[in-house]
Amino acid sequence: MADNCKPVTVFPCVFVCEIQVSQQDLDDTFQPPFKSCVLDGNVASVMCSYNKVNGKPTCADKDLLEGVIRGDWKLNGYIVSDCDSVDVLYTQQHYTKTPEEAAAITIKSGLDLNCGNFLAQHTVAAVQAGELSEEDVDRAITNNFIMLMRLGFFDGDPRELAFGSLGPKDVCTSSNRELARETARQGIVLLKNNGALPLSAKSIKSMAVIGPNANASFTMIGNYEGTPCKYTTPLQGLGASVNTVYQPGCTNVGCSGNSLQLSTAVAAAASADVTVLVVGADQSIERESLDRTSLLLPGQQTQLVSAVANASRGPVILVVMSGGPFDISFAKASDKISAILWVGYPGEAGGAALADIIFGSHNPSGRLPVTWYPASYADTVKMTDMRMRPDTSTGYPGRTYRFYTGDTVFAFGDGLSYTKMSHQLVSAPPSYVSMQLAEDHPCRAEECASVEAASDHCEDLAFDVKLRVRNAGEVAGAHSVLLFSSPPSAHNAPAKHLLGFEKVSLAPGEAGTVAFRVDVCRDLSVVDELGGRKVALGGHTLHVGDLKHTVELRV
Ligand SMILES: *[C@@H]1O[C@H](CO)[C@@H](O)[C@H](O)[C@H]1NC(C)=O
Ligand SMILES: *[C@@H]1O[C@H](CO)[C@@H](O)[C@H](O)[C@H]1NC(C)=O
């Protein structure tokens, strides 16, 4: 961990802006992923961040650390600060007057461990000054020592224990390398295909592999990375099956005007049977402490793609390697660009996995995990504006697939396959579900828009959704079934919400069943304006693709 601790850069947003988050957005959007990690994933550690939320640094927020994380979610483990965030709340945010006060307030709020050396320097003085009790320190130490025990620190000589003898030889095994390749294959998303993909390697005499990420190695493993034993770059992956001609097109990913090498790239595309363009980003464009300010491809990359596509003799496959999304509407609309793939940062075997997909030995099944907005979105929406819900009075468009209803370049969940999958409902959920309210429940006497998603009326209130998925195409493939629900409009509810997903692998002609258990109070509830969970009464529409079914919730 210590090796990954970077010096703190004071970037204006985190330390100066007051991030305001409503209770509704906090409980409905920002906390659920963390809650799921603690409750469903049983993580052993939670890290509090550098920034303030609603005026309070998170490492000094007792309601959050002790109340929510350790209290409501029952964290079994320790809470650690982001590196130097205790220092930052004193020296940069001036949240406390003295360093001792910073040590005291964070430990008393529930912090157990500090990544950095601030607590080591100031905790003793805080206790001596009477700002912190030894009992509070004991609690933190106890949580840390329990973790050391769970990790086997007191179980004897590490060389004699199972994990003590692990080394590089255990990392670079063929099965681990195959796992890296399979992971990349499963993550790659096919966003456009006019039929050009998969390519037949046998019929290709020459392939132009062009772009600043065409021979990417380190870029593929992203940020906060380990050290792989071997990389397979896109050029190397594709070159294992066909003859390639490589042109970077730009000397770097930033691709400013004077790094553009258009004529050699255009010439390569003009004489090849097929062109694969690998563009996108790297850590010079997006990383911790470096946010993008535009959704367009960096520098002159759009010009490179257009010029190469115009000049190509054969089909053009555009590959975007990046962490974040891009507005590539021009490529989506272009007849010259036959197919588009998003590979994320695909890891050490990314180039091999890309070749597996381009040449069809693997059928893509990845889905987009985020909305790809048009470039104008970044100009309209301040990235420090945390509101999820649209505000029609100011033209604020809202955020994410759950609330944003404007145009997208590609939508959350998009992802094509080389085969055709069809869905069919096998056992339809009921058309209505009745809740038995207690005798004295106010909603028995008067009409309510919603009832609380807790207490007796929630018990055993669940139903099944079963779907039959059929592979109606010619090739085997995996398919993710995404089940969404659209709740009634009470409480400014999201337009839709992903209830769950299941992936099935099917041979050509084969059919399989996918089942979801929908718990009414857990899965169909929304968060109200004050942060309470409510189940809206009325029609909840469940949908998978074009398939829709409405369940009426009554009391
Ligand atoms: C591609 O990248 C690899 C790994 O960094 C390097 O060894 C190789 O020389 C590069 N190939 C070309 C043609 O530049
Ligand atoms: C590509 O071709 C189109 C139509 O022929 C032209 O309008 C456009 O300027 C060309 N783009 C580039 C970047 O050469």
Ligand 2 atom nearest 310 alpha carbon: 1
Question: In which element (H, E) is residue 169 found?
Answer: helix 168-171
Could you tell me the residue range of the domain that residue 299 belongs to? 181-368
Query: Is 70 a member of any domain?
Result: yes
Query: Is 11 a member of any domain?
Result: yes
Residue 311 sits in the same domain as residue 453: no
Query: Is 165 a member of any domain?
Result: no
Domain end call among 368, 394, 428: 368
Residue 338 sits in the same domain as residue 218: yes
Ligand 1 atom nearest 235 alpha carbon: 1
Catalytic residues: 82
Centre of ligand 1 to C-alpha 541, Å, is 52
What is the C-alpha separation between 232 and 479, in angstroms, rounded? 27
pLDDT the model gives residue 401: 97
Total domain count, the chain: 3
Residue 280 sits in the same domain as residue 348: yes
Query: Is 112 a member of any domain?
Result: yes
Ligand 2 pocket, 303 CB below 6 A? yes
Centre of ligand 1 to C-alpha 203, Å, is 25
Query: Which ligand has the nearest atom to the CA of 309?
Result: 2
Query: Is 34 a member of any domain?
Result: yes
Query: Which ligand has the nearest atom to the CA of 265?
Result: 2
- 430 - beta bridge partners? none
Q: Atom 7 in ligand 2: which residue has the minimum CA distance?
A: 310
Ligand 2 pocket, 309 CB below 6 A? no
Give the SS3 label for residue 11.
coil
Ligand 1 pocket, 246 CB below 6 A? yes
Q: Atom 6 in ligand 2: which residue has the minimum CA distance?
A: 310
Domain end call among 352, 368, 384: 368
Domain end call among 324, 340, 368: 368
Centre of ligand 2 to C-alpha 311, Å, is 9
Q: Atom 4 in ligand 1: which residue has the minimum CA distance?
A: 217
Query: Is 474 a member of any domain?
Result: yes
CATH for 34: 3.20.20.300
For ligand 2, mutation pick of 263, 306, 336 (most atoms within 8 Å of CB) = 306
Residue 185 sits in the same domain as residue 50: no
Ligand 1 pocket, 215 CB below 6 A? yes
For ligand 2, mutation pick of 210, 302, 310 (most atoms within 8 Å of CB) = 310
Q: Name the region of 538 (left: φ>0; alpha: ψ -120 to 50; beta: rest).
A: left
Query: Which ligand has the nearest atom to the CA of 310?
Result: 2
Is the distance from CB of 100 to CB of 131 less than 8 angstroms?
yes
What is the C-alpha separation between 545 and 468, in angstroms, rounded? 13
Residue 194 sits in the same domain as residue 122: no
Asked, as a colleague might, if the bond just before 198 is cis with ω within 30 of 0, I would say yes
Ligand 1 pocket, 480 CB below 6 A? no
CATH for 257: 3.40.50.1700
Describe the chain by its helix, strand, coil percentages, rounded to 5: 35, 25, 45
pLDDT the model gives residue 546: 86
Q: Atom 14 in ligand 1: which residue has the minimum CA distance?
A: 215
Ligand 2 pocket, 336 CB below 6 A? no
Residue 341 sits in the same domain as residue 198: yes
Ligand 1 pocket, 233 CB below 6 A? yes
| Upper half-sphere CA count for residue 30 (Cβ side, 13 Å) | 15
Residue 198 sits in the same domain as residue 332: yes
Ligand 1 pocket, 217 CB below 6 A? yes
Centre of ligand 2 to C-alpha 339, Å, is 18
Residue 132 sits in the same domain as residue 206: no
Is the distance from CB of 450 to CB of 531 less than 8 angstroms?
no
Residue 353 sits in the same domain as residue 430: no
pLDDT the model gives residue 17: 54
What is the C-alpha separation between 96 and 71, in angstroms, rounded? 25
Residue 193 sits in the same domain as residue 314: yes
Q: Atom 2 in ligand 2: which residue has the minimum CA distance?
A: 310
Residue 319 sits in the same domain as residue 450: no
Centre of ligand 2 to C-alpha 205, Å, is 27
Q: Tens of pLDDT along the chain (555 residues)? A: 223 223 344 443 444 456 899 999 999 999 999 999 999 999 999 999 988 999 999 999 999 999 999 999 999 999 999 998 999 999 999 999 999 999 999 999 999 999 989 999 999 999 999 999 999 999 999 999 999 999 888 998 877 877 778 888 888 899 999 999 999 999 999 999 999 999 999 999 999 999 999 999 999 999 999 889 899 999 999 999 999 999 999 999 999 988 999 999 999 999 999 999 999 999 999 998 899 999 999 999 999 999 999 999 999 999 999 999 999 999 999 999 999 999 999 999 999 999 999 999 999 999 999 999 999 999 889 888 999 999 999 999 999 999 999 999 999 999 999 999 999 999 878 888 888 888 888 888 888 889 988 878 888 899 999 999 999 999 999 999 999 999 998 889 999 999 999 999 999 999 999 999 999 999 999 999 998 999 999 999 999 988 999 999 988
Output the CA–CA distances (angstroms, integers) from residue 28 to 51, 100, 238, 240, 403, in the order listed.
20, 35, 44, 48, 12
Residue 103 sits in the same domain as residue 220: no
Query: Is 166 a member of any domain?
Result: no
Query: Is 394 a member of any domain?
Result: no
CATH for 543: 2.60.40.10
Ligand 1 pocket, 238 CB below 6 A? no
What is the C-alpha separation between 214 and 348, in angstroms, rounded? 14
